[in-house]
Amino acid sequence: MTDKPIFALCYDFDKTLSPRNMQEYAFIDDIGMTPKDFWDECNETMRLNHMDDILAYMYVMCKKARGKLLLTRKTLNDLGRGVELFKGVDTWFDRVNAYAEQKGMKAEHYIISSGLKEIIEGTSIANRFERIYAAEYCYDADGVPVWPAMAVNYTSKTQFLYRINKGIFEVRENDGLNEFMPEEKRRVPFRNIVYIGDGYTDVPSMKVVRMNGGHSVAVFQEDREKMSELILKGCADYAVYADYSVGSDIERTVFALIDLAAAEDATAKLHADSVELAQQKTAERRQREWEKKRSLKLGKEQ
């Protein structure tokens, strides 16, 4: 446990840190489909079976891999090696961590994605995250997926923001997550949380962070107009091009938010010190008043 205030950055993955959906870098080609055909089948499966869209794509992946690709945890991890990242992502985490350190804070990075955890775990940046919250399979003894273990859709993403906020990281632990916890006891105050996503599927998470005093950043590749709508509708605070290089818009934005968090933490400590001193002085005054009254009472009795 660090004694420094924590600054938590929570990222979507597909089209936020990587230009395309992760399945499109190898898996879809390996099963002989085009991205359009694959996603059309996922949408049709969802429609016909009244399925959650995340469960639908997980099912279609298993179905279409039969006879074409031995789908195992290792296969999915290996797919992660081919996932491309936006410019500057490879050095992004070190730069953010170093800047936060300069400001007396500790930066932590989290993935909250509807993509597959197993593929993300195979990417070159997997070890940069404190936790990866994403869809994942349950496997048999041979490492073959047999059932969904986790489906992270657009609204269920929000629970992980509260887990990060409270420091209750295990998905099996629900009692502590739902119990009341005073703000001052929470591991990462929402004002120190930034959510970074690419569009409408991130709106619930963006809103939860903003409503609780944090900040949301929308990244875009081409469609700035869509991002402008998120700004004007109060879903996101900032819209930046998907470039994580030195001196980029997102770097300037996140560094400014670290500055703000450090200043707010400093003023919060000053306020707490003032409250503590006020309580101490009030207690001392009451003690003096009590002693004076007691002295007067004893004097009258004598």
Whether residue 115 contacts residue 22, with contact meaning beta carbons closer than 8 Å, is answered with yes
CA distances from 24 to 73, 90, 149, 244, 284 (A): 18, 20, 22, 22, 69
Please tell me the predicted confidence (pLDDT) of residue 301: 66
Above 90 in pLDDT, residue 295? no
Residues in the chain: 302
**Please, where are the H alpha helices in the chain?**
27-30, 35-49, 53-65, 73-79, 89-102, 117-120, 157-166, 175-178, 203-211, 224-232, 249-301
- Residue 110's φ and ψ, nearest 5 degrees, are -135, 145
Question: Which tokens belong to 25?
Answer: 């870098």
Burial 19-58 (b: 16+ CB within 10 A, else e): bebbbbbbbbeebebeeeebbebbeebbeeeebebbbbbb
- Residues 6 or more apart from 279 whose CB is under 8 A from it? none
pLDDT at 1 over 60: no
pLDDT at 102: 97
Percentage above 70 pLDDT, the chain: 98
Q: Give the pLDDT score at 2.
A: 59
DSSP characters over 187-202: SS-GGGEEEEE-SGGG
Those residues whose C-beta lies under 8 Å from the C-beta of residue 173, and which sit 6 or more positions away, are none
> Is residue 97 pLDDT above 80, yes or no?
yes
**% the chain with pLDDT above 90:** 73
Question: Does 54 have pLDDT greater than 70?
Answer: yes
Q: Which distant-in-sequence residues (6+ apart) come within 8 Å of 10 by Cβ?
A: 110, 111, 112, 160, 161, 164, 193, 194, 195, 196, 205, 209
Q: pLDDT higher for 173 or 96? A: 96
The whole-model pTM stands at 0.89
Is residue 7 within 8 Å of residue 192, measured between CB atoms?
Answer: yes
Supply the pLDDT for residue 108.
Answer: 98
Q: How many CA atoms lie within 13 A of 127 on its CB side?
A: 3
Name 197's Cβ contacts closer than 8 Å, sequence gap at least 6.
11, 12, 16, 205, 206, 216, 217, 218, 219
Please, are residues 202 and 12 in contact by the beta-carbon 8 Å criterion? Answer: yes
The answer to whether 11 and 196 are in contact (CB under 8 A) is yes
Reported as a single tens digit per residue, the pLDDT across 10-38 is 999 999 999 999 999 999 999 999 999 99
| Residue position matching structure tokens 């509807």 | 114
Residues 32-45 have pLDDT tens digits of 999 999 999 999 99
Q: Which of 79-88, 149-158, 222-231, 250-259 has the lowest mean pLDDT?
A: 222-231
pLDDT in tens, 165-218: 998 888 888 777 778 887 778 899 999 999 999 988 899 999 999 999 999 999
The burial class, CB within 10 Å (0-12 / 13-18 / 19+), for 278 is exposed
Using one digit for the tens of pLDDT, what is the confidence trace for 225-275?
778 888 898 899 999 999 999 999 999 999 999 999 999 888 887 877 788
Predicted confidence at residue 256, as pLDDT, reads: 98
pLDDT at residue 62 greater than cutoff 70: yes
143: left (phi over 0), alpha (psi -120 to 50) or beta: left
- Across the chain, mean pLDDT equals 92
238-241, strands of its sheet edge to edge: 145-150, 131-139, 106-116, 6-11, 193-197, 215-220, 238-241
